[in-house]
Amino acid sequence: GQQLNQSPQSMFIQEGEDVSMNCTSSSIFNTWLWYKQDPGEGPVLLIALYKAGELTSNGRLTAQFGITRKDSFLNISASIPSDVGIYFCAGQLLNSNSGYALNFGKGTSLLVTP
Amino acid sequence: GAVVSQHPSRVICKSGTSVKIECRSLDFQATTMFWYRQFPKKSLMLMATSNEGSKATYEQGVEKDKFLINHASLTLSTLTVTSAHPEDSSFYICSAAGSDYGYTFGSGTRLTVV
Q: pLDDT tens digits for B40-72?
A: 888 999 999 998 888 899 999 999 999 999 988
For residue B24, pLDDT beyond 80: yes
Supply the pLDDT for residue A94.
Answer: 57
Instruction: Please name the residues in contact with A109: beta carbons below 8 A apart, sequence gap of 6 or more.
Output: A9, A10, A11, A85, A86, B41
Q: Are strands A19-24 and B32-38 parallel, antiparallel or unpaired?
A: unpaired
How many angstroms separate the CA atoms of A113 and A87, rounded?
A: 17
The fraction of chain B above a pLDDT of 90, given in percent, is: 74
What residues of chain A score a pLDDT lower than 70? 1-2, 94-99
Among A43, A103, A109, the residue with its CB nearest the CB of B105 is A43
**Looking at chain A from residue 65 to 84, which residues have their Cβ under 8 Å from any Cβ of chain B?**
none
Backbone angles phi, psi at A13, to 5 degrees: -130, 170
Supply the pLDDT for residue B93.
Answer: 96
Cβ A8 vs Cβ A108: under 8 Å = yes
Strands (E), A51-94: 55-58, 61-65, 71-76, 85-93
How many angstroms separate the CA atoms of A24 and B12, rounded?
A: 38
pLDDT in tens, A37-47: 998 899 999 99
pLDDT higher for A86 or B31? A86
Average pLDDT in the B9-23 region? 97
Of the pLDDT bands very low, low, confident and very high (cuts 50, 70, 90), residue B101 is low
- Which of A56, A7, A37 lies closest to B38 in space, CA to CA? A37
How many beta-carbon pairs under 8 angstroms link A with B?
57
